Amino acid sequence: MPSKIESHVTEFRTADREAQQRVVDKDVRGLRELLEEDATNYGPNAPPASGRNAFAQSFEEAFELQGFAVGYPRPSKVVAAASGELGYTVAEEEITVTGADGGRLTVQSHYLAVWRRQPDGSWKIAENMWNFAQPFPPQT
């Protein structure tokens, strides 16, 4: 029988995979459902996007980049507090866009998401921070 912490990790690993799939699918509405009302996204070279609507908008803008695609090459690291109220995930991403020369441009990225258990038992993203693993050439 799994321990309480193992159960929490399993539950919110599932939530993290669901969030990843919604990003892969460019599903802003679905991603929005996984955000706390006051969730904040901290992206590179941008001010924090605070609140569910601003957070979702920051992802929608990325999804609109020409040729945008994202993949998750490795499973996420998942850590849950013993209380089952809070946890975090860390993962690598591969983000691809169309470069200025028309070719495909892929860069490595990382994210850290803090999740909080809701009164109904579901997990929602409270904070998200991501960055590039190397310089990202600008879009033109």
Rounded to two decimals, what is the model's pTM? 0.89
Q: What is the pLDDT of residue 116?
A: 96
The CATH number that domain 4-132 falls under is: 3.10.450.50
Going from the C-alpha of 134 to that of each of 44, 57, 95, 96, the distances in angstroms are: 11, 24, 12, 13
Q: What is the pLDDT of residue 136?
A: 64
User: For the chain, what are the domain ranges?
Assistant: 4-132
What pLDDT, in 10s, does the model give residues 14-66?
Answer: 999 999 999 999 999 999 999 999 999 999 888 999 999 999 999 999 999 99
What pLDDT, in 10s, does the model give residues 83-103?
Answer: 889 999 999 999 999 988 899
Which candidate, 20, 34, 26, places its Cα nearest to that of 90?
Answer: 20
Tokens of 32: 């929005």
Q: Please tell me the distance from the alpha carbon of residue 126 to that of residue 123, in angstroms, as a whole number.
A: 9
